[in-house]
Amino acid sequence: MYLCHLPVPPLPFAPRPFPDELLLSWICRLAAANHVSQPLLFPEMQAMNHYRLNSDPGEEIVARLAAMARVPPSTLHSLLLPNQFPNLPLLSFLRVPDTANISGNKDTASFPLPFCSECAGEEECLQQSLYWRAESGLLTTTLCPRHGAYFDDACPGCNRGQLTLAWDHARLIVRCLRCNWRPVPRQKGCPVPSYPSGLRQLISRLQCDLIAALRGHPPNSFWCGEISAVQFLRVVDDLYWLLRTPGLSAHCGQLFTFTDGFSWTRLRSDSWSFFARISDLPFSAWDRTSRAEMLLAMAAAMLGTRAFEILGNSPHFPAPTAFYPWDWILPSLNRPYAQELLNRAAHWPSRLRFSVSIAAGVAIMPIPLEDYSTI
């Protein structure tokens, strides 16, 4: 039983939040500074999905945290994802679902935050406190935004889930409880290339443009030409509907999603279908690999045949045409869903809209640009 009605004593040490910090990152620094575990500091958070915590933990939790750390509640409100990313409501799959529809924290069972050993090594070398920026809490961030490296929960030294956060001379550090591993910086930097080449770089580039668009900045013209942040997010949300919704195909049954049609990208090696892994779960309950697989399918859909050279691979059947992937998606759609796709494509930029129009054999009248502000 949690004693929420009792007065909240202020903690002896209360590090101030960084302006661009993720709420959970600051909570972990708060716990480490006072040499207590996060579950002991705030037991209610152990059962709360991390995405909900970073987006909408509730006024009671915000008020208690503010009292414990002696900071105004408005400071903690500014750390929440909807306040750091004003365009977040434009992506339906990033909205916080009801509590009953959210499962536990699959990707962070042993470590509370997405861990990049290269980030930890750089901060360790500079004697700076490690902290996680807000973009690391977005569900579309499946790779480290700074290095393009895969997040890990296991120790790089012994490959066991024994990483822990500790406090050392007014800064947060990461150590391994089993082998005492400590982060070290790379001898030679390996930044993400400005032009993507390969699966990991393609996912990294898309997630970085999503971060920019969610903040209100236009994405790179690499995807769809020069478009606004709102129009780009509209395309991404429509692609999520198309690629994630089961039963749209007239030939493949109710357990097929069009993401399975992008299996040539080879993100996963197992034989499970995409729907078998995600079922009816909301995006916030997917494992990190399934979320990355969705991003890769979105990227391939936007790039079309350009994705073949970037990924060094292409589908074998059906043989793609110049209007891939719409040349195989549109003919296989149930008629009502085909019309729904054409209606959505009317909002898309000309490069994408043209490919869909040619594959469908019909003209798609675009919505005037001035109407996007009302979408």
Domain that holds residue 75: 23-176
Does residue 175 sit in helix, strand or coil?
A: strand
Which of 10-14, 64-68, 177-181, 224-228 comes out lowest in average pLDDT? Answer: 177-181
Looking at per-residue pLDDT, the higher value among 265 and 85 belongs to 85
128: in domain: yes
Residue 6 within any structural domain of the chain? no
Residues 149 and 230 reside in one and the same domain: no
- Is the same domain home to 362 and 237? yes
Question: Does one domain contain both 172 and 218?
Answer: no
Please provide the distance, in angstroms rounded to a whole number, between the alpha carbons at the two ends of the chain: 45
Q: Are residues 107 and 164 in the same domain?
A: yes
The reply to whether 3 falls in a domain is no
d(CA 246, CA 137): 27
- What is the average per-residue pLDDT within 340-353? 93
- For residue 85, the model assigns a pLDDT of 97
Query: Is residue 131 domain-shared with residue 250, that is, in the same domain?
Result: no
From 144, 176, 208, give the residue that closes a domain. 176
**Taking the C-alpha atoms of 269, 275, 281 and 284 in order, what is their torsion angle to the nearest 10 degrees?**
40
Task: Match 């729907």 to its residue by tokens.
Answer: 275
Which of 185 and 24 is assigned the larger pLDDT?
Answer: 24
pLDDT digits (tens, 9 = 90+) for 190-214: 554 444 458 888 999 999 999 999 9
The structural domain count of the chain equals 2
The verdict on residue 8 lying in a domain is no
Is residue 153 within 8 A of residue 110, CB to CB? The reply is yes
209 lies in the same domain as 158: no
User: Which pLDDT band holds residue 52 (cuts at 50, 70, 90)?
Assistant: very high
Interstrand relation of 163-167 and 172-176 (parallel, antiparallel or unpaired)? antiparallel
Nearest Cα to 64, choosing from 87, 43, 91, 90? 43
pLDDT digits 0-9 by tens, 91-120: 999 988 666 445 555 544 568 899 888 888
The mean pLDDT value for 341-364 works out to: 91
The per-residue pLDDT for 270 is 63
Give the pLDDT score at 373: 45
172 lies in some domain: yes
**Domain endpoint, select from 143, 176, 209:** 176
Query: What average pLDDT does range 12-26 have in this prediction?
Result: 94
Instruction: Indicate whether 262 belongs to any domain.
Output: yes
In this structure, are 78 and 203 located in the same domain? Answer: no
Regarding predicted confidence, which is higher, 273 or 249? 249
* Residue 330 clears pLDDT 80, i.e. is over it: yes
Query: For residues 173 and 168, what is the distance between their CA atoms, to the nearest angstrom?
Result: 7
DSSP 164: E
Which pLDDT score is estimated for 345?
A: 94
Distances (CA, A) of 115 to 50, 154, 208, 370: 14, 9, 17, 42
Note whether 166 and 23 are within 8 A (CB). Answer: no
- CA–CA dist 121, 118 (Å, integer): 5
With respect to residue 7, please indicate whether it lies within any of the assigned structural domains.
Answer: no
Distances (CA, A) of 137 to 46, 142, 174, 288: 16, 9, 18, 12
Task: Look at 107-121, 191-205, 275-289, 310-324 and tell me which has the smallest mean pLDDT.
Answer: 191-205
> Of 70-74, 103-107, 124-128, which range is least confident?
103-107
Global confidence as pTM? 0.89
- Per the prediction, the chain carries an average pLDDT of 85
Do 100 and 223 belong together in one domain?
A: no
Q: What is the mean pLDDT of residues 50-76?
A: 93
Q: Judge if 169 and 217 occupy the same domain.
A: no
* pLDDT, tens digit (0-9, with 9 covering 90-100), for 292-305: 999 999 999 999 99
**Are residues 122 and 80 located together in one domain of the fold?**
yes
Q: Say how far apart CA 307 and CA 205 lie, in whole Å.
A: 13
Q: Are residues 246 and 172 in the same domain?
A: no
Residue 186 lies in a domain: no
Whether 146 and 235 map to the same domain: the answer is no
Tell me the pLDDT band of 227, cut-offs 50, 70 and 90: very high
**Backbone phi and psi for residue 214, each to the nearest 5 degrees, phi listed first:** -65, -25
Q: Cβ-count burial of 159 within 10 angstroms (0-12 exposed, 13-18 middle, 19+ buried)?
A: exposed
